[in-house]
């Protein structure tokens, strides 16, 4: 099976946005055992879109299109596909009902152009859009399979996972040996350091295959194998998983594709343990990551973003003498990280308290270098731990890495508490 | 002038990396007034690479290739180009000297395959690589111009700026007019509603051109024109900007490409005005957005993430009677949003206080529907405003839209304060 990906949108050709959809879809297709031979980007132009369709159809079994499903006049993808296939196009009733309801719920008059988002190519399967209004399409025409997906990743990803992937498995990949994958997730270690630890395995290994990639301060190791049945595949994958885990057990926090904050939320919620956070340089990022996870309401009590020294004093009761004056540790110090973690835990009356204070830059603070960050971790009845970090990168990267480092240390502490339980 | 970009690399087709080079090069070419009609990604495969070259050459005046210049056997870009053009390939002496010196300086024996990085197509101009070893190439062949660049962005970007761009300006773009653009940013209005307000302008307008796109709860309108000089271009763009602004002055928050939080931070910091936030369902997202902006430390005093009723009572002093009992408004209510905004402002002693409380889902809270959100906005000496929102989407989308809606209302309040100043 060969696939091609066509991303539609003049904003891509102008370089206003980066084509993350092509990466996402390529990775998904690879995990399904489908080879991608070309990715193409074409603008919102009827002739060139049809030219791209003609070319991809001549080379591939599966053509994935993303973008150009919106309400505006330059959203042409479905019209171009219908015209290229010589099929008609119609309003999908279910999608149209959803759009009408959307506007009715808001008490807003629906503008006429929104009807375009309900268009479907004749003879295809409409793919519902859980997170937006534009309906997707799946069509088989002369042995080529077309999947039409919306451009915004927030809509494309759920639609691919919930609609397009099952459709492909059911209608297209019926004779392929299915591919089984496991995602092993690592934190607290960089991609190249992990690659080095796994180098001999990666080199020696042909089945299952091993692939590494890094994102947002976490490293994912994907191991994949083709097999006739799940039991056979899982046996092979689990055997390799154990060999990989041995190379860095202190860094591997999950054997499924979840962020570390989800592991933390689930683990603490299961035990009825509670958490609070005091953040300075991350400005809410730690709390935001944790509360992005459904179920966090039962373990995360709250946070204090103490951006100024006054708020550190008033709300987190940091002694003035630590913060201001000559020869004091200052807000960016281990002492303050420690007091923030302990005091926020007491203020919120939670089982654990975490803190972060540092210099995210640009520009120095307290004559301390950009990238210097302290994190604190307090636990009821236990000694508080503090770590000093020296992070590289711009403001955004430093904040992200500081938040991830704190979550990693919290996860480690939870794991050792778990061992003590047993 | 029409250009195409061909990125070479199987790692792109596997989705292991995202094609940021295509974005970078597209943006550069757009700024030089060169239209990009297609971006293509092809793997490290001789036949398919030549097929991509054949196709691009038939459509474009300029073909930019990135990647596949490394030392290994699957780095084929220059071989493929030479073979496609029917030209020979040779070792560029200057590049080879540089590579030999690199290994000598490190006291490492150079492996033979490194010689491949000095390859140059006959009759072309070698493009020196300041930050790596692989030399680039620029070749004109039968009126088509080929630029060969390395794959790693830290090599590609300097080589484009210092070598390829000057070569294009000198050899190819001698008669072209440069393109000038402005970005107009909107919040508080959806893409389709704005598109409809601008429909007649978009339809009538050919120069400057108008393009809309939406991301993260904001809409960007890009207007562009080709002109001999900046003054002429700016006069045209500003005239159109005014006509666009008239269609929704209450929504247009900037005439440059910045998020609304940056406008808020700069505006408040300039005036010495301060802000604090109390967040429930957004869990720190509002504070995180604001503090992602450099300079926010001078206007954002802090935030309280009050995820539980206990914390709302203890830290933000919300009366128990509003939160719990029979027939009370409950945590998700206009009354609580109002009290949160007013009380966080008083606790932090800031000029403005903002709040958000709602049901982000999944699952109901207090028997209220997912997507019901209240935002509050308090200002020293002014009446507090509260807005009820009914948001669609999953947990992530609802949180994002709630945060953006709150920032939009804050911006509006700041604008009306500015008018009162005058």
A342-355 pLDDT, tens digit each? 999 999 999 999 99
DSSP of A54-90, one letter per residue?
Answer: HHHHHH-SEEEEES--SSSTT--HHHHHHHHHT--EE
Task: Give the domain ranges of chain B.
Answer: 2-171, 179-254, 260-421
Same fold across A2-171 and A179-254: no
The residue ranking higher by pLDDT, B16 or A343, is A343
Is residue B421 scored above 80 in pLDDT?
Answer: no
pLDDT value at position B87? 96
Percent of residues, chain A, with pLDDT higher than 90: 74
> What is the per-residue pLDDT for B342?
98
User: Is it the case that residue A42 has pLDDT exceeding 80?
Assistant: yes
Distance in Å from the first CA to the final CA of chain B: 49
What is the mean pLDDT of the segment spanning B158-179?
88
Locate the DSSP E strands across B263-421: 275-279, 300-306, 352-358, 372-379, 385-390
The stretch B272-290 carries a mean pLDDT of 97
Average pLDDT over residues A197-211: 83
From B196's Cα to the closest Cα of chain A, the distance in A is 8
Q: What is the 8-class DSSP label of residue A30?
A: H
Cβ–Cβ below 8 Å for B12 and A20: no
Whether the pLDDT of residue B311 is over 80: the answer is yes
Q: Which of A56-60, A298-302, B204-208 has the lowest mean pLDDT?
A: B204-208
Closest residue on chain A to B348 (Cα): A311
Checking if the pLDDT of B32 tops 90, the result is no
pLDDT (average), residues A180-195 = 88
Q: Which chain A residue is nearest to residue B203, measuring alpha carbons?
A: A73
What are phi and psi for residue B24, nearest 5 degrees? -60, -50
CB within 8 Å of B405: residues ≥ 6 apart: B188, B217, B373, B375, B387, B389, B391
Q: What is the mean pLDDT of residues A22-30?
A: 94
- Taking 80 as the threshold, does the pLDDT of residue A213 lie above it? no
> Do the Cβ atoms of B191 and A72 come within 8 Å?
yes
Average pLDDT, chain A: 93
Which among A15, A111, A282 has the least Cβ separation from residue B193?
Answer: A111
**Structural contact between residues B114 and B71, judged by C-beta atoms closer than 8 angstroms:** yes
* Cross-chain CB nearest to A302 (options B20, B311, B396): B311
The pLDDT of residue A161 is: 95
- Helix residue ranges, H only, B5-92: 10-13, 20-31, 46-59, 77-85
Looking at beta carbons, which residues of chain A come within 8 Å of B288?
A: 282-285, 288
Exposed / middle / buried, residue B420 (Cβ in 10 Å: 0-12, 13-18, 19+): exposed
- CB-nearest partner of A213 from B16, B290, B365: B16
pLDDT band at B266 (very low <50, low <70, confident <90, very high): very high
**Region A179-254: CATH code:** 3.30.70.2860
Chain B environment of A113 (Cβ under 8 Å)? 192, 195-196
Which pLDDT score, from 0 to 100, does residue A107 have?
84
Position B236 pLDDT exceeds 90:
yes
Q: What pLDDT does B82 receive?
A: 97
pTM: 0.76
Provide the pLDDT for residue B228: 83
Mean pLDDT, residues B4-9: 96
Please report the pLDDT score of residue B362 as a whole number.
83
CB contact under 8 A, B19 and A18: yes
Tell me the backbone φ, ψ of residue A188, rounded to 5 degrees: 80, 5
Q: For residues B144-160, give the mean pLDDT.
A: 95
Is residue A179 scored above 80 in pLDDT? no
Q: How confident is the model at residue A191 (pLDDT cuts 50, 70, 90)?
A: confident
Strands (E), A142-274: 144-149, 179-187, 209-215, 218-226, 252-254
- In A, which residues are within 8 Å of B399 by CB distance? 292
pLDDT of residue A222: 86
**Most confidently predicted of A353-367, B45-59, B361-375:** B45-59
* Model confidence pLDDT, tens digit, residues B34-58: 999 999 999 989 999 999 999 999 9
Question: Complex ipTM above 0.95?
Answer: no
Q: How far is the alpha carbon of B266 from chain A, nearest alpha carbon, in Å?
A: 15
- Tell me the HSE value of A313 on the side-chain side, using a 13 A CA sphere: 10
What proportion of chain B, given as a percentage, has pLDDT over 70?
99
Q: Is the pLDDT of residue B348 over 80?
A: yes
CA distance A277 to A157: 31
> What is the distance between the alpha carbons of residues A175 and B333, in angstroms, rounded to a whole number?
55
User: Is the Cβ pair A72, B214 closer than 8 Å?
Assistant: no
Which structure tokens are listed for A279? 């953040």
pLDDT higher at A207 or B332: B332
b/e string for B389-410 if b means 16 or more Cβ within 10 A? bebbbbbebbbbbbbbbbbbbb
Q: What is the pLDDT of residue A75?
A: 92
Nearest to A348 among B23, B311, B349 (CB): B311
**Selection from B280, B341, B309 nearest residue A303 by Cα:** B280
How distant is the Cα of B384 from the closest Cα of chain A, in angstroms? Answer: 23
Instruction: Name which CATH class applies to A260-421.
Output: alpha beta
**8 Å CB contact of A291 and B305:** yes
Q: Give the per-residue pLDDT at A380.
A: 96
Helix (H, G, I), strand (E, B) or coil at B364: coil
- Calculate the alpha carbon distances from A67 to A70, A100, A149, A153, A330 in Å: 8, 22, 6, 10, 50
Q: Which of A135, A143, A122, A132 is nearest to A164 (CA)?
A: A135
Q: What is the pLDDT of residue A174?
A: 78
Interface size between A and B, measured as CB pairs under 8 A: 263
Looking at CA atoms only, how far is residue A112 from chain B in angstroms? 9
Is the pLDDT assigned to residue B195 strictly greater than 80?
yes
Q: Which CATH superfamily is domain A2-171 in?
A: MoaB/Mog-like domain (3.40.980.10)
Chain B contact set for A30 (CB, 8 A): 14-15
């Amino acid at each position: 099976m060969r696939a091609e990906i066509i991303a539609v949108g003049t904003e891509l050709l102008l370089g206003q946005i980066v084509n993350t959809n092509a990466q996402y879809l390529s990775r998904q297709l690879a995990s399904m055992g489908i080879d991608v031979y070309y990715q193409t980007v074409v603008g919102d132009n009827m002739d060139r879109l049809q030219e791209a369709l003609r070319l991809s159809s001549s080379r591939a079994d599966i053509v994935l299109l993303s973008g150009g499903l919106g309400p505006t006049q330059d959203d042409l993808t479905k019209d171009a596909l219908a015209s290229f296939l010589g099929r008609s196009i119609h309003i999908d009733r279910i999608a149209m009902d959803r759009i009408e309801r959307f506007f009715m719920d808001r008490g807003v008059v629906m503008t006429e152009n929104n009807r375009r988002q309900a268009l479907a190519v004749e003879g295809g399967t409409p793919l519902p859009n859980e997170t937006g209004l534009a309906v997707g399409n799946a069509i088989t025409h002369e042995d080529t399979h077309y999947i039409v997906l919306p451009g915004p990743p927030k809509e494309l990803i759920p639609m691919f996972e919930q609609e397009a992937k099952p459709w492909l498995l059911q209608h297209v990949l019926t004779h392929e040996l299915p591919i089984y994958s496991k995602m092993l997730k690592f934190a607290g270690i960089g991609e190249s350091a992990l690659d080095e630890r796994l180098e001999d395995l990666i080199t020696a290994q042909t089945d299952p295959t091993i692939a590494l990639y890094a994102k947002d301060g976490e490293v994912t190791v994907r191991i994949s194998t083709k097999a006739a049945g799940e039991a056979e595949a899982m046996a092979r994958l689990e055997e390799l998983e154990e060999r990989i885990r041995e190379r860095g057990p202190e860094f591997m926090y999950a054997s499924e594709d979840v962020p570390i904050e989800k592991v933390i939320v689930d683990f603490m919620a299961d035990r009825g343990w509670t958490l609070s956070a005091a953040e300075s340089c991350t400005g809410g990022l730690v709390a935001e990551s944790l509360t992005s996870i459904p179920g966090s309401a039962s373990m995360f009590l709250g946070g204090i973003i103490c951006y100024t020294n006054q708020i550190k004093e008033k709300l987190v009761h940091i002694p003035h003498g630590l913060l201001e004056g000559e020869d004091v540790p200052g807000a960016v110090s281990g002492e303050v990280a420690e007091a923030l973690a302990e005091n926020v835990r007491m203020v919120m009356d939670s089982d654990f308290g975490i803190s972060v204070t540092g210099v995210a830059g640009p520009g120095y603070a307290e004559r301390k270098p950009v990238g210097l960050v302290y994190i604190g971790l307090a636990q009821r009845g236990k000694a508080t731990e503090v770590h000093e970090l020296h992070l590289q990168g711009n403001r955004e990267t430093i904040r992200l890495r500081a938040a991830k480092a704190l979550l990693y240390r919290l996860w480690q502490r939870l794991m050792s508490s778990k061992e003590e339980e047993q």
